[in-house]
Amino acid sequence: MKEEVKTQVPVLNAGEEAAKNNAAEADTSVAARLARGEHVALIEVEHLTKKFGELTVLDDITDRVEQGEKVAIIGPSGSGKSTFLRCLNVLEDPTGGAVYFEGANLVDRKVDINLHRRRMGMVFQQFNLFNNMNVLKNITLAPVHIGLHDLHKTKAKNFFRKIANLFRGKEKKRELVPVQTNAKQIKAAAKENAMRLLTRIGLADKANVYPSTLSGGQRQRIAIVRALAMNPKVMLFDEPTSALDPEMVGEVLELIKELADEGMTMVIVTHEMGFAREVATRVLFMDGGKIQEQGTPQQIFGAPQNERLKDFLSKVL
């Protein structure tokens, strides 16, 4: 009897160990993959839920956006497309779930959301330029603000280190953070970058005018350039052309297409099915707060499976 028990114990333990290992391997959550040092996409949402009062607008969405992907989001009005996009950079606070950007959970209160949000450019339907500032100021505002903020932070850190070093022994003195720039250089660099971007879209001569004097298409292209000035890792577009006169749509889509061709990762909510078909690497169809179907443009437009998607396409195509 005794012998039997002895031999059984290690067998059981090994089985348990294997089960545990299997469970660990099966855990494909972002947290588990991060802990194992495995690949995590540029953006990952996990069980993302958003409610407005009783209304569930996003219903347990899990999806990921890999670097270089161009994701088009389509779906009927009120299906949660804008809310989804706004949850990606936490302009809208999710009710539940997680939004990881470069491996950091933006929903986690301990994460510096502003630091990460800088790297996500957002362009809305309504060109959200500041009308009381000229074009150049519109584009340089955020980069200058952030550049100066970082500079002051570094200087303050050095100041306190210097004082603390007075009381530290020779061995324990901490090095100061090198400061290689000044306010003037930060402003000059932001201006130079803004002019480069304006030149690229053929609007360098508009640098000193106010947005009210520009066409809708020009304003929207400047809104895009303004987002680009922050050197984003991903661009989020929410129906960037739907407020434009038809003759302005082409120039804005052309610019977005150029960015896509250059490898920019983007998520774009659009009603322009032709554009989605041409530019997107993946199309998501949203309805009722869920991603009902997703696939390549060929699959979504050529061979839709979901009844609601078929119905939607029959109305918009």
**Dihedral sign of CA atoms 254, 258, 260, 265 in order:** negative
Other CB atoms within 10 A of residue 250 CB: 13
Closest-by-Cβ residue to Mg ion is: 82
Contact status: 315 vs ligand ATP (CB under 6 A): no
Structure-block tokens of residue 20? 């545990």
Binding mask 27-56 for ligand ATP (x = CB under 6 A): -------------------------x----
Rounded to the nearest whole angstrom, what is the least distance from the CB of residue 80 to ligand ATP in the complex? 4
Angle, nearest 10°, between helix axes 246-261 and 216-228?
20
Return the residue of 78, 103, 250, 302 that touches ligand ATP, per CB under 6 A.
Answer: 78
Binding mask 71-100 for Mg ion (x = CB under 5 A): -----------x------------------
- Residue 233 sits at the vertex; the CA angle it makes with 191 and 123, to the nearest 5 degrees, is 70
Contact status: 80 vs ligand ATP (CB under 6 A): yes
Rounded to the nearest whole angstrom, what is the least distance from the CB of residue 73 to ligand ATP in the complex? 8
Contact status: 79 vs ligand ATP (CB under 6 A): yes
94 binds, among Mg ion, ligand ATP, none (CB under 5 to 8 A by kind): none
- Among residue numbers 82 through 101, which ones bind ligand ATP (CB under 6 A)? 82-83
Stretch touching ligand ATP by CB under 6 A, among 12-20, 21-29, 80-88, 220-228: 80-88
216 binds, among Mg ion, ligand ATP, none (CB under 5 to 8 A by kind): none
Contact status: 81 vs ligand ATP (CB under 6 A): yes
Distance CA 226, CA 57 (A): 30
> Which of left, alpha, beta for 205 (phi over 0: left; psi -120 to 50: alpha)?
alpha
89 binds, among ligand ATP, Mg ion, none (CB under 5 to 8 A by kind): none
Stretch touching ligand ATP by CB under 6 A, among 79-87, 103-111, 207-215, 305-313: 79-87
Stretch touching ligand ATP by CB under 6 A, among 81-89, 108-116, 192-200, 296-304: 81-89
Can you give the length of the chain in residues?
A: 317
Rounded to the nearest whole angstrom, what is the least distance from the CB of residue 86 to ligand ATP in the complex? 8
52 binds, among ligand ATP, Mg ion, none (CB under 5 to 8 A by kind): ligand ATP
Residues lying near Mg ion in the complex (CB under 5 A) are found at 82
Residues lying near ligand ATP in the complex (CB under 6 A) are found at 52, 57, 75, 77-83
